[in-house]
Amino acid sequence: MTLLRWFGRKTFSHGVHPQAHKEDTADKPIRRLPFAPRMIVPLAQHLGKPSRATVKVGQEVVRGQPIAEADGFMSVPQHAPATGVVEAIRLMPSAQGPRVPAIVIRVYEASNQEVLWRTPRDMNALTPEQIIQAVQDTGLVGLGGAAFPSHVKLKVPSGAVIDTLIVNGCECEPYLTTDHRVMLEQGPDLIRGTQYAMRVVGARQAIIGVEDNKPDAIAAIRRHLPADGSIRVEAVETKYPQGAEKMLITSLLGREVPSGGLPAQIGVVVNNVGTLTALGRLLPRGEGLIERVITVAGPGVKKPGNYLVPIGTPLRFVLNHVGFSGSEQEVILGGPMMGNAVASLDVPITKGSSGVLVLSNSEIQAETRRIHPCIKCGKCVAACPMHLNPTQLGLLAAKREYDVMAERFHLKDCIECGCCSFVCPSSIPLVQYFRIAKSILRERAA
């Protein structure tokens, strides 16, 4: 147990305290965005193998209908986000940069866009294995941004015994308030999804961890907790990256995930609140994931808020609706700490899109600082929540010593939170260096 926990503060060591910037959207209820004239549904919206299209060009589809099937266990299906006709199946721009295969749907303007494809289930009659299959059929992935297939995360590795399900409600990235609004407005779905997940992994308890700057969300969840005490909500210190699963496990349970290991090795499974809320809503209805809540915020947005958006909605359509007429250089998908600048406004909102951050020209100029040589001040070492040595890793990255980074300095334990880059007085983009190094190592291993 860490010294910090001895003093009663549920937290982890190191980390940073960036300005929250959540005041513009935290009190705004979720609103539905209109349907765009065309939807772009990429076949690869998740970690793992892309799905396979099961429709043809010219085929009519209804909202909720499966249009692509999972290609193996590490894959999920895709569903039509709107009623319309398949206009094309071709390469389209992606948030990652390269064009990727996608199904383009021309939306019927006259349709009321009711969900017409569902297969209601009796959840009490399903075994854990059947629930895992049902989760895969929904096409659900981690909605916190990782886009890891949810059914894979719920499949407990052989030999592991899970005693605790941790539900991640921290949302520590500046600007983003998606999870905050979901906790306030969709408590019954969250508790239902948590109970389904507990059945699957065999956990005897669930702890919903929420940063202590969201007391209204903590109070809202407590109103829906079951009387048997199996699920509880606990406040943790507001600090970045409190929402990283390894950090949250340490804060709530005082357990450390071993280097290179998984939470299941210490009896824990972690899921995001948005993911479990979707699970609680979609599973009994037998529906697929076709929409999600995103935060649209930043000084470049006239109507910031939390919007329920059909997956596949082009980013340009979203920005036009909220009042923005700038360029790609000003838009980030996700939060400012872990998000990425978009290469094109024609990319769609996908299952992993938790937010859209729009910066103004002055904000960009403030962030685009000149890079100076490392002065070995050690601030990055003091900030790294994984207790790595970003200074040394950065020097090795500059020399392309990627193998040394992995073998001697535990590069693979880096969670890419960006704390090192945030505190660096020389403006060295350390986390970008580490992402490149990890990508190259993955290519070499393939």
**DSSP-based three-state secondary structure for 10:** coil
Rounded distance, CA 359 to CA 361, Å?
7
Q: Is-cis flag, bond preceding 241, omega within 30? A: yes
Provide the pLDDT for residue 363: 62
- Whether 4 has a pLDDT exceeding 60, the answer reads no
Provide the pLDDT for residue 200: 97
Arithmetic mean of pLDDT, 401-430: 94
Contact status, residue 272 vs residue 208, Cβ threshold 8 Å: no
Give phi and psi for 148, each to the nearest 5: -80, 130
Provide the pLDDT for residue 330: 79
Comparison of pLDDT for 325 and 349, the residue scoring more? 349
Provide the pLDDT for residue 52: 97
The 10s digit of each residue's pLDDT in 23-41 is 999 999 999 999 999 999 9
The 10s digit of each residue's pLDDT in 372-385 is 999 999 999 999 99
Contact status, residue 21 vs residue 172, Cβ threshold 8 Å: no
The 10s digit of each residue's pLDDT in 247-292 is 999 999 999 999 889 999 999 999 999 999 999 999 999 999 999 9
How many percent of the chain have pLDDT more than 70? 96
The 10s digit of each residue's pLDDT in 287-327 is 999 999 999 999 889 999 999 999 999 999 999 999 987 77
Residues with Cβ within 8 Å of residue 173, at least 6 apart in sequence: 240, 243, 334, 335, 336, 337, 338, 339, 354, 355
Provide the pLDDT for residue 445: 82
7 pLDDT tier (thresholds 50, 70, 90)? low
5 pLDDT tier (thresholds 50, 70, 90)? low
pTM: 0.93
Contact status, residue 87 vs residue 38, Cβ threshold 8 Å: yes
Provide the pLDDT for residue 286: 97
